[in-house]
Amino acid sequence: MFGFGGRTLALAEKYRWMSPNQRRDFAVVKALAKLKAEDCEISFLPFNSSDDVQERRAQGSPKSDCNDQWQMIQGQFLNVSIMAIPCLCSVAPRGLAPNTRLNNGSMALIIARNTSRPEFIKHLKRYASVKNQFNFPFVETYTVEEVKVHPRNNTGVYDPEEEEDETASENCFPWNVDGDLMEVASEVHIRLHPRLISLYGGSMEEINDSKVTRETI
């Protein structure tokens, strides 16, 4: 996550003495209070579900083919999420990216363009409900194979609260990478590596909830 998600984690890391829930809530409120958009360029390779294309990419070079059609969007973005799994959690029972699939080599690219603070808060609140959190005019979703996020200037460089007792790396943008803070000064390139690991499972056991299964490896 880049933008709001990265800034929230960067703030939370400054208050490790709080309990996890308090730290999360405190960081969200402070990030919303200083909400601002990042000026960046996002390039992505749309997902191609063709079996022969997926087979070729799984067995071939890790680099994208020259014939692949990259798309580019640019502007002011409040948040950018790239996810390969649904990311179910207590604040998002349906997941942060409920439409992701584990078996087809795709990722969900979810972007929230610049909008008012009240509208962005409505979007965040939808994650905790059964309503579609993406049904807003400023939210766009794409199914992709690769993504490049390139900040176009330093106007949005992270300055944690501009407080004297807090410091951060200069000219770096905070990313939330699976709950870990990563500070990057330039472009970030994200891609899936299909079939990188061979996984063997057995003894599948169904539990009471028919929608959930457990596998013993």
Residues 44 and 140 sit within 8 Å (Cβ to Cβ): no
For 54-77, what is the mean pLDDT? Answer: 69
The two three-digit tokens of residue 126, written as one number = 């939808």
Transcribe 175-199 into DSSP letters. EEETTEEEEESS-EEEE--TTSS--
pTM for the whole thing?
Answer: 0.77
Q: Produce one character per residue of 174-198: b if its CB has 16 or more CB atoms within 10 Å, e if not.
A: bbbbeeeebbbeeebebbbeeeeee
Cα gap 35→115, rounded to integer Å:
10
**Residue 29 backbone phi and psi in degrees, to 5:** -65, -45
* 118 assigned to some structural domain: yes
Q: Helix (H, G, I), strand (E, B), or coil: what is residue 111?
A: strand
Please tell me the distance from the alpha carbon of residue 196 to that of residue 104, in angstroms, as a whole number.
13
| Residue found by looking up tokens 């059964």 in the block | 130
Residue 121 counted as domain residue: yes
CATH label of the domain that carries residue 182: 2.60.200.40
Say what the pLDDT of residue 75 is: 94
Query: What CA–CA distance (Å, rounded) separates 80 from 1?
Result: 6
What Rg do the C-alpha atoms of the chain give, in angstroms? 19
Token output for 146: 């690769």
Q: Is residue 139 part of a domain?
A: yes
Average pLDDT, integer, range 48-53: 64
| Side-chain-facing half-sphere of 77: CA atoms under 13 Å | 26
**Tally of domains in the chain:** 1
Q: Which residue is it, tokens 């996020």?
A: 149
DSSP-derived letter for residue 42 is: E
Mean per-residue pLDDT over the chain, rounded: 80
User: For residue 212, what pLDDT is reported?
Assistant: 44
Q: Which amino acid is at 8?
A: T
Provide the percentage of residues in the chain whose pLDDT is more than 90: 41
Domain extent, residue 14, equals: 2-47+70-153+170-191
pLDDT tens, position by position, 165-206: 343 455 688 999 988 999 988 899 999 887 777 777 666 555
pLDDT at residue 211, rounded to an integer: 47
Per-residue model confidence (pLDDT) at position 167: 35
The residue ranges of DSSP E strands in the chain, in sequence order, are 2-3, 38-46, 71-83, 107-113, 139-151, 173-177, 180-184, 188-191, 202-206, 213-216
Residue 36 lies in a domain: yes
- pLDDT top residue among 102 and 87: 87
User: What's the pLDDT tens digit per position in 124-174?
Assistant: 999 888 888 898 999 999 999 999 999 986 544 445 544 433 434 556 889
Which has the higher per-residue pLDDT, 60 or 86?
86
Q: Per the domain annotation, does 35 fall within a domain?
A: yes
Residue 79 lies in a domain: yes
